[in-house]
Chain A
Amino acid sequence: MRIGILGGGPAGLYFALLMKKADTRHHVRVIERNPPDATFGWGVVFSEETLGALRDADYETYAEITDTFAKWNAIDVRYRGQTIRSRGHAFSGIARKDLLRILQQRCRQLGVRLEFGREVADLGPFEDDDLVVAADGVNSLARRLHEPRFEPSLDLHTTKYAWFGADLAVDAFTFIFRDTEHGLFQVHAYPFDAHTSTFIVEAHESTWRRAGLDQMPEEESLRFCQDLFRPELGDHKLLSNRSIWFSFVTLRNRNWHHGKVVLLGDAAHTAHFTIGSGTKLAMEDAVSLATAFLRHPADLETALTWYELDRQPVVERFQEAARESATYFENVSRYGGLEPIQFAFNLLTRSGRIGHLELEKRDPRFVAAVDRWFARSAGTAARAGTAGGPPSAAAAGGPLLAPPPLFAPFSLGALELPNRVVLSPPSEDDAFDGLVGERHGAELAGGVAAGGGLVLTEAVAVSPEGRITPGTPGLYRDDQSVAWRRLVERARRAGGARLGVRLTHAGRRGATRPRRRGVDRPLREGGWPLLAPSPLPYLDGGQVPRELTERDLRVVLEAFAAAAGRAAEAGFDLVALDLAHGYLLGSFLSPLTNRREDGYGGSPEGRLRFPLEVVDAVRAAWPAERPLAVTLQADDCAPGGLGLDDAVAIAASLRAHGCDLVEVASGWTIPADRPDYRRFYLVPASDRVRNEAGVATIAGGNLTTADDVSTILAAGRADLCLLDPRLYAGVDQAR
């Protein structure tokens, strides 16, 4: 086979040598525009897993690479004057120029033709080749020539970074955070030989501009960074090698091959540098592509398809993790209220690849310290900036054993929750005339017995018109609160969980059939007139709700307050008001559903006005020592609808009006929304509300394991988590 490779970086060289090694009859040629000793960037990081792949693929280069390695296993987070160290991570680094030298040497030894300093303008020089490998980087010429076939997409990130070296060898993967008058700067530093480290400086673009870095020549910006990180650098120097400021571009390609041309490494994909995996992915690509030709030597198309199938899922997972990581660093100033140990845990778990459990395997002492800190600060972390004491509990002679965060108690004002899991059994829509019965009692007691810290009822209507279905339970008559009281007493005997009631008014999503066979299906008979902020039907052709008059507003408000009073009599520990999912109060919040022109619509304040009046009325009717929660629409998932910025502002107002806890929700405001149900989908909203509005949160959103919960809690991204207990049902009976 004649193989032409464009680009003499690690991916191109490694693929070249693997192919030549597999069959010396292959004619393999690498064309590189730079001279052999030119290289940009400093060190390259590998994980243990990658090294395994390199060892299996070519032991000679593996041995040489690992002989040259700087190895370390710690990650340091330097933040607010403290250094938090976490161990057990096993990294290796090598200077990029050494890596290239080793690979070039091996290529020459095997008989690969290397043509340096040769610029090509098209793929003409590869005309006679059977296979053309585009390993020519993020701006790949080959890719640009066949763009419609590869279908690339580019995403520009909002931080600026410069890739420096430093003439000191840090002894850990080091993150440094430095607050300045311009904003926050951060450093990602790691060693690559005995004397030198990669030292990447990153800042939000606005910070970078305020600091004047957009105007500075290269020399001056290097001095700026040198001065900024003097405390860490001491007398050591930052080194420049075309170290100018960039915005990172994430590149994806739908297809990685076209005819005989195949993309490799950065030409095919990039992943944000904050997870440090560009070279790793590129060299793994090379191994995969070489393996593809071992498996399918006779069939180019099948081999290239095999390569895509093998690599694309892996790369997509890395790109997803890299996206999470990049987002973290873009918004890291949000976490200024976190204690250093929680800040560090949050940073280590930012990409979603590593959770509480994995960190515990790597560094049990670190995680024990996190758990101790978490258990001690239980409840007090809800308000930003008032978090618990220093991380070294052991020094104080306190207990060394602490439960994982899921099992840490939580105090919400005077209310103590035994753990951090919220259970919320779904509705069967089987209340009769708003009255709960035997099944509801069993469900509530079952939730408590299942072991949660807080059990929330299904939605309970504050008025007959506020029911979702005819089977929605109510708290609008005294006999209903008597029935609830019996259920609450029964549930208390089942365990230590606290009990909350969800109060709702369905608004324009009311008068529907029981939800066993679908939601939002209008009642055929026995329906009732619907109320909404604006006379817009929920579904095309559905019932047009009546626009609430001033008088209606008073009636609804009093219904909420009266229901809260009955909830108190029934003995509930907590009331959760429903401001979400397109039900009545939620539809006041959203500009998609609130078109009012009086004081209850229009501006964000106008749309929030009635829900806040309800919060005030409920707060007044609900015992002061018992906490008030709100289920808040954080994202309408529709153009022109509520988004996370709105949610933060609304949550801050709710907090000021005596709301103690916010459960975030998304979607369902209008039928034509575009929600996203990926893993952890509500966590970003919870994170922002908690850390920007300073109110305790409940996060749900495709959480499936106890480890998910402990990870989110320890990272300070929520205070409580919704976990579906049905996920665990039946496991102990299996086999």
Chain B
Amino acid sequence: MEVGVGLPAGVPGAPGDLVLEWARRADSGPFSSLGVIDRVAYDNYDPFLSLAAAAALTSRLRLVTMVVIGPLRNQAMLAKQAASLDALSGGRLTLGVAIGARHEDYEVMGVDHRDRGRRFDAQLAYLRESFQDGGPVGPRPAQPDGPDLLVGGGTGRAFARMARYGDGYVHGGGPPRAFANAASRAWAAWTEAGRPGRPPLWGQAYYALGGDAEAERGAAYLRDYYAFTGPFAERIAAGDLTSPQMVKDLVRGYEEAGCDHLVLLPTVADIAQLERLAEVLD
């Protein structure tokens, strides 16, 4: 299993120079990828711009969206941004997409959320054709046939969609047991669809390393970020990995559960977080 790290671009108030410094240092750390999240109606950086900046400062790391909310975006523009990022980064993009759970993102974008599933299907088909065949929207991605498309979501519909259009599955986070359960469903959908090979499986988890102060800041961020889930936000906050032992346990658990790529997302915007995680993983 490969382990990557998230950019602090999803944490409100993260200074721009911190995001850039983080990317620069991560490139020489024990990480295989740099991940970003996507919100619109929230105080976070745009995922494609963040990764584009990171692309300029890194040479090695895979750049992954975990995930971009597809139906919020115009499909041609999404294809253009992704192809551009792939070309600019020398073929380092992995494009995780999903449907998103927050209605306010749809509201501020002026996009109807009711038929988002159907539009998402069409969008995935479009992205695939656009990457592979060219067509009016350029540039050509650097990776032949375009970046890998990871599809997320936990419903049977989402797994079927992943098997129909995706190159792999991206999980939304949780304990290893939940990941293993989703992984077996992803594999089953893949088999039922008649796909050859096996889908690469990506996982993610939140962390805040240091002491009680960091743990509290991380939890406060997650409570805020997941406020839309109501009482569930507390439970997500309680899952923040706040000690080296918790990080190690989770990494081991995910590896045992069959995860191929795990991305650890910071919940505190402080460069020390990157160094602490690097120490734990080294």
Contacts and interface: CB of A to CB of B under 8 A. Distances in A.
A and B held together in a complex:
yes
B156 A677 contact: yes
B105 interface: no
B179 interface: no
B14 interface: no
A266 B193 CA distance: 41
B192 interface: yes
Nearest to A429: B196
B100 interface: no
Interface in B174-222: 175, 177, 181, 184-189, 191-198
A294 B41 CA distance: 39
A518 B161 CA distance: 10
A520 interface: yes
B227 interface: no
Interface residues of B, number: 44
Given A313-B177, A517-B167, A677 B128 contact: no
Interface string A671-713: 1111111110100000000000000000011101000000000
B185 A666 contact: no
B193 A679 contact: no
Given A302-B238, A674-B157, A677-B156, A426 B133 contact: no
A219 B186 CA distance: 54
B157 A518 contact: no
A665 interface: yes
B125 A258 contact: no
The majority secondary structure among interface residues of chain A is loop
B279 interface: no
A305 B196 contact: no
A519 B230 contact: no
A681 B166 contact: no
B160 A675 contact: yes
B234 A519 contact: no
A77 B204 CA distance: 47
B122 interface: yes
A426 B197 CA distance: 8
Contacts, number: 111
Interface in A497-522: 515-521
Contacts of A673: 157, 160
Nearest to A150: B231
The majority secondary structure among interface residues of chain B is helix
B186 to A, nearest CB: 8
Contact of A426 (B132, B195, B230): B195
A676 B125 contact: no
Contact of B128 (A309, A517, A679): A517
Contact of B196 (A257, A428, A724): A428
A540 B122 contact: yes
B73 interface: no
Interface in B125-169: 125, 128-129, 132-133, 145, 155-157, 159-160, 163-167
A735 B234 CA distance: 40
B104 interface: no
A671 B231 contact: no
A518 B166 contact: yes
B235 interface: yes
A702 B196 contact: no
A637 B184 CA distance: 19
Contacts of B197: 426, 516
A596 interface: no
B121 interface: yes
Contacts of B239: 309
Given A672-B118, A674-B157, A677-B159, A704 B184 contact: yes
B238 A306 contact: yes
Interface string A292-317: 00000000011001101100010000
A255 interface: yes
Interface in A707-729: 724, 726
A427 B136 CA distance: 32
Contact of A257 (B133, B167, B231): B231
A701 B188 contact: yes
A668 interface: yes
Nearest to A317: B177
B156 A427 contact: no
Contacts of B234: 301-302, 305
A71 B189 CA distance: 45
Given A518-B166, A521-B125, A674-B156, A679 B184 contact: yes
Contact of A517 (B132, B156, B194, B231): B132
Contacts of B145: 517
Contacts of B156: 637, 667, 674-677
B132 A677 contact: no
Nearest to B164: A519
Given A517-B128, A671-B121, A675-B160, A149 B196 contact: no
A431 interface: no
Interface string B87-98: 000000000000
Contact of B192 (A306, A428, A665, A679): A665
Interface string A394-438: 000000000000000000000000000000001111000000000
Name, among A257, A428, A515, the residue most crowded by chain B CB atoms within 10 Å (CB to CB): A515
B231 A724 contact: no
A43 B231 CA distance: 36
A668 to B, nearest CB: 7
Interface in B39-82: none
B225 to A, nearest CB: 16
B235 A305 contact: yes
A448 interface: no
Contact of A702 (B125, B184, B235): B184
A734 to B, nearest CB: 12
A524 interface: yes
A704 B184 CA distance: 8
A515 B189 contact: no
B87 to A, nearest CB: 19
A18 to B, nearest CB: 22
Contacts of B167: 517-518
A426 B177 CA distance: 28
Nearest to A513: B132
A458 B191 CA distance: 12
Name, among A516, A666, A702, the residue most crowded by chain B CB atoms within 10 Å (CB to CB): A702
A13 interface: no
Interface of B: 118, 121-122, 125, 128-129, 132-133, 145, 155-157, 159-160, 163-167, 175, 177, 181, 184-189, 191-198, 230-232, 234-235, 237-239
Given A426-B194, A519-B164, A702-B184, 15 more contacts: A149-B231, A255-B230, A255-B232, A258-B231, A305-B234, A427-B196, A468-B194, A516-B197, A518-B164, A666-B192, A675-B189, A677-B184, A677-B188, A677-B192, A726-B198
7 contacts: A255-B231, A313-B175, A515-B194, A521-B129, A671-B121, A681-B188, A726-B198
Interface of A: 149, 255, 257-258, 301-302, 305-306, 308-309, 313, 426-429, 458-459, 468, 515-521, 524, 539-540, 581, 637, 665-668, 671-679, 681, 700-702, 704, 724, 726
6 A-B pairs closest in CB distance: A677-B185, A702-B188, A677-B188, A305-B234, A426-B196, A675-B156
